[in-house]
Amino acid sequence: MTVQERAGSVTLGPVLFNWQPEKWRDFYFRIADEAPVSTVYIGETVCSKRAPLIEPYYAAVAERLAAGGKTVVFSSLSEVVSKLDRKLAEQICTAEGFLVEANDGSALMYLKGRPHHVGPLMNVYNEATVKFLAGIGAKNICLPVEMPAKSVGALCEATRDLDVSIEVQVFGRQSLALSARCYHARAHGRTKDSCRFVCEEDPDGLTLSTIDDRKFLTVNGIQTLSYEYLNLVREVPSLRKMGVSRFRLSPHTLDMVGIATIFSGVVEGKLAADEAAALLEAMKPDAPFANGFYHGKPGYTWNTASVH
C-alpha cells in the first residue's frame, strides 16, 4: 500500500534498561555529538524506582542533545499502578517547555489539548484510535512492534489528512508485555520493593531459557522483551512508501552511533538496504535478528521475503 512518501528520519527511543547513571549520561552525550538522529526520547519508562537515579542528569543530557540539533522528547512510564508511579507520570506530563511521549493511557489526562507523542507501549491498533489521538493533540504515533505491514499501511492511510506522523521501531529488542510483578527481583529471590536494583546486572536484559535450554525471551524488571533483536533495515524502503516517516532504534549496549548511521543511510536513500543488512550482520549482537511480526509471522522468526 502506497500512501505518500514523507521526508524520513531516524529516531532513538528511551533506554529501557537500568544503566549506571553516568553510563546513561555518557551514552546520550555521544548520541548528541555523533549520531545522525533527528529525535531522541529520554526518561524512565519501565520502573519509577529507577527514575531518581538518572533524574540529576536530565537537564545536562537535554541541553547537550539540543545543542547537537536533536529534538528531545521525555517518555512517560509505561505502567502506572502505585502512588510513586502516579507522581512521576504527573511530574513528567505537566512540566512545561518540552514534548512528552505518552506510554500509558493515564498520561493522556495531562496531555489532552497539548502537542505530544504517543509511544509504542500504547495500544494503537486501528484507524479510529489514530484519529481520536490526533484529535486530542498527538502529533506523532509510534506503533506497537507486533503490527504487520498491512496494518501499518492502513494506519498510515488514516493519517493522510491528519497533522500526525507515524513512527515504527526498526531495531532493538521488542517489548511484548508488562506486569505488576518484577521478574528481575523474583529471579533473584527478592520482592519488587526490596529489589536492590538487581536489574542493573543485565544492561540488555536477563535472558530466559526453556527447560530444554533454548533461549526465547528477555526480561527487564516488569517488562518482557523478545530475545531476538528486531531488524527491519530491508523493510525501510517499503515502510517509507507506506507513509512512515520516523524510524526508531531502541538503545542497547552496542555501537548505536554506527547502527544509527546505517539506518540513516537507508532512510535517506544513500545506502542500499542489502548493503546495510550486511553491515548490521557484521555488528550482530549475541542474539539473532528477527522481523516476523512485520511479515505476519511469529515475531521471533527471520523472513527474507520483501513486503511491498
Domain assignment present for residue 297? The answer is: no
Residues of the chain falling short of pLDDT 70: 1-7, 305-308
pLDDT for 97? 82
Backbone φ and ψ for 176, nearest 5 degrees, come out as -110, -35
pLDDT for 2? 35
CA–CA gap between residue 291 and residue 273 (Å, rounded): 14
Give the CATH number, domain containing residue 53.
3.20.20.70
Domain assignment present for residue 42? The answer is: yes
Backbone φ and ψ for 174, nearest 5 degrees, come out as -95, 130
Domain assignment present for residue 43? The answer is: yes
Instruction: Say if residues 76 and 87 touch (Cβ distance below 8 Å).
Output: no
Domain assignment present for residue 27? The answer is: yes
Q: Quickly count: other Cβ atoms within 10 Å of residue 108's Cβ.
A: 19
H helical segments located in the chain? 21-34, 51-54, 58-67, 83-94, 108-111, 127-135, 149-158, 183-187, 236-242, 256-267, 273-282
Backbone φ and ψ for 111, nearest 5 degrees, come out as -95, -10
Which 8-state DSSP code applies to residue 294?
G
Query: Strand pairing of 165-178 and 223-231?
Result: antiparallel
pLDDT for 5? 43
Question: Rounded to 5 degrees, what angle do the CA atoms 292, 46, 148 make?
Answer: 20
Domain assignment present for residue 200? The answer is: no
Domain residues for the domain of 129 are 9-175+229-278
Angle between helices 256-267 and 273-282 (to 10 degrees): 170
CA–CA gap between residue 255 and residue 271 (Å, rounded): 18
Domain assignment present for residue 268? The answer is: yes
Give the residue from 294, 175, 284, 282 showing the smallest Cα distance to 232: 294
pLDDT per residue as tens digits for the range 175-196: 999 998 898 988 888 988 888 8
Domain assignment present for residue 290? The answer is: no
* Structural domain count, the chain: 1
pLDDT per residue as tens digits for the range 31-73: 999 999 999 999 999 999 999 999 999 999 999 999 999 999 9
pLDDT for 180? 86
CA–CA gap between residue 52 and residue 48 (Å, rounded): 8
Instruction: Say if residues 222 and 178 touch (Cβ distance below 8 Å).
Output: yes
pLDDT per residue as tens digits for the range 4-31: 445 689 999 999 999 999 999 999 999 9
Domain assignment present for residue 184? The answer is: no
pLDDT for 82? 85
What is the CB-side half-sphere exposure of residue 81 using CA atoms within 13 A? 12
